[in-house]
Amino acid sequence: MSDPFALDDDIPAPFQPASPRASAGPVAVPPDAPWLVGLNPEQHQAVTTTEGPVLVLSGAGTGKTKVLTARLAHILASRRAQPWQCLAVTFTNKAAREMRDRVAGLIGPVAEGVWLGTFHALCVRILRRHAELLGLKSNFTILDADDQVRLLKQVMEAEHIDAKRWPAQALMGTIQRWKDQGRLPDKLTAADTTELAGGRAQELYAQYQQRLLTLNACDFGDLLLHCLTLFLDHADVLAHYQAQFRYILVDEYQDTNVAQYLWLRLLAQSHKNICCVGDDDQSIYSWRGAEVGNILRFERDFPGAKVVKLESNYRSTPHILAAASGLIANNEGRLGKTLRPGLSHDAAAIEKVRVRGVWDGPEEARVVVDEIETLQRRGESLATMAILVRAGFQTREFEERLITTGVPYRVIGGPRFYERQEIRDAMAYLRLINSPDDGLAFERIVNLPKRGLGDAALQVVHNAARARGLSLFEAARLVVETDEMKPKPRKALAGFCDDMLRWRERMATLSHGELAQVVLDESGYTTMWQNDKSPEAPGRLENLKELVRALADFDSLQGFLEHVALVMENDERSDVDKVTIMTLHGAKGLEFDSVFLPGWEEGVFPHQRAMDEGGNPGLEEERRLAYVGLTRARRRVLVTFAANRRIYNQWQAALPSRFLEELPDSHVERQAERGLYAGGASSAAWNSGDVGGGWRKPEAQGTSWQVASRESAGDFAVGDRVFHQKFGNGFVVAVDGDKLEVDFDKAGLKKVLGSFVETQ
């Protein structure tokens, strides 16, 4: 077996005698050293407190990257350690490159010798050296997500596990969560696996791991898990790396999972010179394994640890910081810090955080895009503006409004709404119903969800279509009447054709929104995503609901399909100044001059699923997410919420988010549409003082709400209270000349002529 401690040729062995210059011990660093210049007192303390465990609580915009870089430069320049004796861990390759470049710019190429990278990259480096101790060869393969699922499918097939009842992708997600928790198959209990794969999940996990060893392969979860096994089973290897890494630096510590936490604790036990930088108030990734408890227990894990709080924010205005601090103070599970301005601001130019209440989603999109256009006319760049949503389905109305007004935009972290997989699939069903000759739509959904129609069956359809000059759908209807296909696929294809004909007939009796819902449900497409256990599945279901809702805005299915085709032509040139649309999760670490935060309503934000599944910890993470959203803004924030949302073509009252109540009044300017809070509203929930969940309507608290500018047409305006002889009392929610859309107290939403109603 090769030497388990053999190192890369360009890195000296850690147990060799240090150079004479290094052996003389640390040297003094001048106070005007470039990495120390410009640091505030807290940053300076975090950089120069090199010995012992240090926790740097770095609030949003307080310069954590600067501190990490300066600290590493200070350790190396003061000769407290050789480069290879420093371990610096980041969460992304981009962050690792940035840190290495910055340190090299401060102290020169010596920075190249530092062990600096992501958890996975550093673990690969260790495992390549000691692979034989784990039953692997040093040239092991790292499988991607597709290969992982394919391998697990092979294991499940060999054990005769029903893949339809227990999808391999869902079981793989569970296995990866176990790995993130540092749990091998023999560490699982019956309670962990009883409801998975017929109670055989533990066995399948063990066989999957054995197959990986046979293939000389690892998946991403194994990289940390194997390192933990290596350290725990081979004390000499652990002692080697504990002795080598005299200083450990960790970025974004609040995002570590259990396996990463255990790995760091083991390595730090010798010198205990570990510095973790993070912000417990920005821990928002529990859904992918992050444990906020790791940062909260740091002082217990490392007794005598020094805690340094970075609270001087160099990004946002005082009003934004005060609003964010007031909000996050409602969380109980936090270490506690208060952001304060680190820069001077022109008091006359500082805007308060604005909260705007509107009647519905389309009005919310109009308000936000109008504001964007106003800022653009003032000369501000679209690239400095961002719309940050809680859930992906929220982007549709903003995308369509931006396209209507000609404002360029880009969606970061995912495709545009109509480019998403589930939307394209649903649209293919609608396209084929609308136009049976659409062969591309037929090919996309004929076996989606799986109907047992393999390549051989589809080839029969293609051959018949070419031979007879027919569309694929007509050819399919023809071949199911023959014996050219095997009985099982022929029956499945016949059922599909019958479904399409039935749905096409129902176009005459159902609205296109209702038809879309029927198609999604009866085809099994909705059920397919309901049974999918991947983290993306709930969001896909929300997007499908939003698609159904969008259909209600159009007079015909054909009109909707044409609209989508035009929407897809939005300018994709990279050199165009564009507004950014992205989720709040994706926005962490970014900053913009102007930030728009829509959908602050109960069930949307905080998200109902997060509260249902996570309880109070889930609610606190949602609040941290709101804090992240507010602190992305440098100059201004507009928070919006709608009194009504349309779901399946039915208007439903939406309650304002409890987070709005938690924003301190002295730093917030509140504004609502006429009638939204004055004189009662059409929903009983709005009329009551307490609407549940701890939220009370603003007038009950004495909160000052301004009336938004009047949007009038003729003698009526959105928000007017009106009376109709037949439908009774209601509020105007839309005005189109003399045509009104009114939400009546008892009759619901109706379209009426202005000449038939009276203002009250």
Single out the residue of 424, 620, 421 nearest to residue 539, CA to CA: 421
**Alpha carbons 567 and 572: distance in angstroms, whole number:** 12
DSSP string, 498-544: HHHHHHHHHTTTS-HHHHHHHHHHHTTHHHHHHH--STTHHHHHHHH
By DSSP bridging, strand 728-736 and strand 739-744 are antiparallel
Single out the residue of 282, 275, 260 nearest to residue 335, CA to CA: 282
Torsion of CA 22, 23, 25, 26, to 10 degrees: 10
**Alpha carbons 658 and 600: distance in angstroms, whole number:** 8
* Residue 78 assigned as binding residue: no
* Residue 63 assigned as binding residue: yes
Residue 568: enclosing H or E segment and its boundaries? none
Task: State the catalytic residues.
Answer: 64-65, 251-252, 282, 632
Under a CB-based contact definition with an 8 Å cutoff, are residues 80 and 249 in contact?
A: no
* Residue 61 assigned as binding residue: yes
- HEC secondary structure over 429-494: HHHHHHCCCCHHHHHHHCCCCCCCCCHHHHHHHHHHHHHHCCCHHHHHHHHCCCCCCCHHHHHHHH
Q: Name the region of 728 (left: φ>0; alpha: ψ -120 to 50; beta: rest).
A: left
**Alpha carbons 78 and 81: distance in angstroms, whole number:** 8
Under a CB-based contact definition with an 8 Å cutoff, are residues 201 and 171 in contact?
A: yes
| CA distance to 255, 265, 545, 604, 622, per residue, from 608 (Å) | 23, 35, 15, 7, 10
* Residue 336 assigned as binding residue: no
**Alpha carbons 507 and 312: distance in angstroms, whole number:** 61
699-735 burial, b at 16+ Cβ within 10 Å, e below that, comes to eeeebebeebeebebeebbbbbbbebeebebbbbbbb
Single out the residue of 60, 620, 133, 140 nearest to residue 313, CA to CA: 60
Residues in contact with 690: Cβ distance below 8 Å, sequence separation at least 6, in sequence order:
696, 700
Burial of 165 (0-12, 13-18, 19+ CB in 10 A): exposed
Under a CB-based contact definition with an 8 Å cutoff, are residues 449 and 526 in contact?
A: no
Q: What is the DSSP letter of 668?
A: E
* Residue 333 assigned as binding residue: no
Helix 395-405 and helix 537-551, axial crossing angle in degrees, nearest 10: 50
Single out the residue of 579, 586, 587, 564 nearest to residue 420, CA to CA: 564
Under a CB-based contact definition with an 8 Å cutoff, are residues 54 and 276 in contact?
A: yes
| Annotated binding residues | 58-65
Q: Please state the residue numbers annotated as binding site for ATP.
A: 58-65
